[in-house]
């Protein structure tokens, strides 16, 4: 079984911007039940279908498959729930790992998150200075949750996020 072990953080400042190049992502959800999410994604010029299981701490099962770009766009345009989640993802090498910084667009504009996939849950992680509060266990920051309750609707319940 494929397992994703991931931690997620708010981003502070702009120091990360010069460390990696960005790719536009557009993604939507066919299912967002707690037990499973089914996501369609276009990343640059590639399409993917991803199925994720329920989170257990910072780990969950994940199965991702490439699909034809035309199929991915058709699913996003006609079958996925609204709003779609749009973002620019920056990949930033850091030691042996790679941070993925997501600068959200559209209804989630203003939110910038950093994720890092770990080889195991107890992996010792050294945080760059542009990493802020950890939000790994806050379900509001799941991309599937941002599709249901976009960042623009959060109002005063928003923690201090990057002004970047």
**What residues are annotated to the active site?**
29
Nearest to 92 by CA among 5, 4, 3, 18: 18
Is residue 101 within 8 A of residue 11, CB to CB? The reply is yes
SS3 label, residue 146:
helix
- State the burial class of residue 114 (Cβ atoms within 10 Å of its Cβ: 0-12, 13-18, 19+): buried
- Omega into 28 within 30° of 0, i.e. cis? no
Is residue 62 within 8 A of residue 4, CB to CB? The reply is yes
């Amino acid at each position: 079984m494929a397992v994703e072990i991931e931690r997620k953080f708010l981003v502070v400042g702009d120091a990360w911007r010069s460390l990696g190049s960005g790719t536009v992502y557009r993604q939507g959800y066919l299912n967002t039940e707690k037990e499973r999410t089914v996501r369609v994604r276009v990343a640059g010029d590639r399409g993917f279908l991803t199925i994720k299981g329920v989170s257990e701490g910072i780990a969950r099962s994940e199965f991702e498959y490439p699909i034809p770009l035309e199929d991915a766009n058709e699913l996003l345009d006609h079958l996925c729930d609204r709003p779609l989640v749009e973002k620019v993802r920056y990949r930033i090498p850091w030691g042996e790992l790679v941070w993925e910084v997501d600068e959200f667009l559209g209804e989630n504009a203003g939110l910038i998150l950093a994720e890092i996939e770990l080889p195991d849950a107890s992996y010792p992680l050294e945080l760059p200075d542009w990493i802020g509060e950890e939000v790994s266990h806050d379900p509001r920051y799941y991309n599937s949750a941002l599709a249901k309750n976009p960042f623009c609707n959060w109002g005063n319940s928003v923690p201090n996020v990057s002004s970047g």
